[in-house]
Amino acid sequence: MVLYAWQIERHWVEVVSMKMPIEYLPKHLEGKTLMQISDLHTGRWVSNDYLISTFEEMRKYDPDFVVYTGDYVTYKNKKVLYDKLEEALQHCVKGRLGTIAVLGNHDYGVNWREPKVADSIVELMRSHQIVVLRNERIQIEGLTFIGLDDLWAGEFNASKAFENYDAAQANVVLSHNPDTCDLEVWQNYQGWILSGHTHGGQCKPPFLTPPVLPVKNKEYASGKIELSNQRTLYVNRGIGHSIPVRFNVRPEITIFELEKRK
């Protein structure tokens, strides 16, 4: 079982497909696809060969949008392996219409308090034509992406991101840490929130919740969760890992098919 968790499951990516109903979605975006990729954790424990082969396989799906929801590196011993991230990004999946990202806690260096590390990662990602949103939003083809910066890094600012936003348009929120869903900051937002951060707990007994989760709200382990005020949270299990094992929690890439909410 140890050999399975160490050598097999942590590289056995599951492609999860589901519908994403969005209010006010433009007609021309109905049936388009949005791929969510999270928690690469390039560095010591995650093989770039694994990441690159995963990206190459996912490019076959030819997604219209791709969103990356944080933790692109594993920051250990005061060193970020930028070269590994650079190599992985050379092969990353991109959307035909747009590729958007937000940052996670590991992207902020030691104790999540080194903004210069985050700035370097953002510069690197933008050099690969990835739009990185830091409490900002961008509209692409009539779909607005609202990107929130990381909670643990102290950079989360929903007021800035939502300032003067139009609730009568199609919107999707990207927020690395799902605990942000419980903050009183959502300004009557109704729609999808795409997160990562938890890795699904990485290891869990069958039919039970994961014993270790890096969130206050233990209901936010993974998957689709219906929230109050017509919000829907999706917590992606990520493709990387912190420790090099997974058991009963396969790595995940999610493909959403956009449809108009009825």
Q: What's the confidence (pLDDT) of residue 44? A: 87
Q: What is the residue range of 140's domain? A: 2-260
Give pLDDT, residue 208.
Answer: 86
Number of domains in the chain: 1
Q: How far is CA 222 from CA 28, 133, 202, in A?
A: 30, 23, 10
What is the mean pLDDT, run by run of 10 residues, along the chain of 262 residues? Answer: 71 98 98 99 94 98 99 77 93 99 96 95 98 99 99 98 96 99 96 99 91 97 97 99 93 99 88
The two three-digit tokens of residue 126, written as one number: 């933008």
Question: Tell me, what's the pLDDT at 78?
Answer: 55
- The pLDDT, as a whole number, for residue 4 is 64
Quick one: pLDDT at residue 8?
84
CATH of the domain at 109: 3.60.21.10
Largest CA distance in the chain: 52
pLDDT of residue 66: 99
**pLDDT number for residue 7:** 73
Compute the distance between CA of residue 136 and CA of residue 142 in angstroms, rounded to an integer.
Answer: 16
What pTM was estimated for this model as a whole?
Answer: 0.96
pLDDT score for 207: 84
Q: What's the pLDDT score for residue 80?
A: 66
DSSP 144: E
**Cα-to-chain-centroid distance, residue 87:** 19
Q: What is the DSSP letter of 133?
A: P
Task: List helix spans (H) across the chain.
Answer: 2-3, 48-58, 82-89, 115-126, 158-162
For the beta carbon of residue 252, count every other beta carbon within 10 angstroms: 23
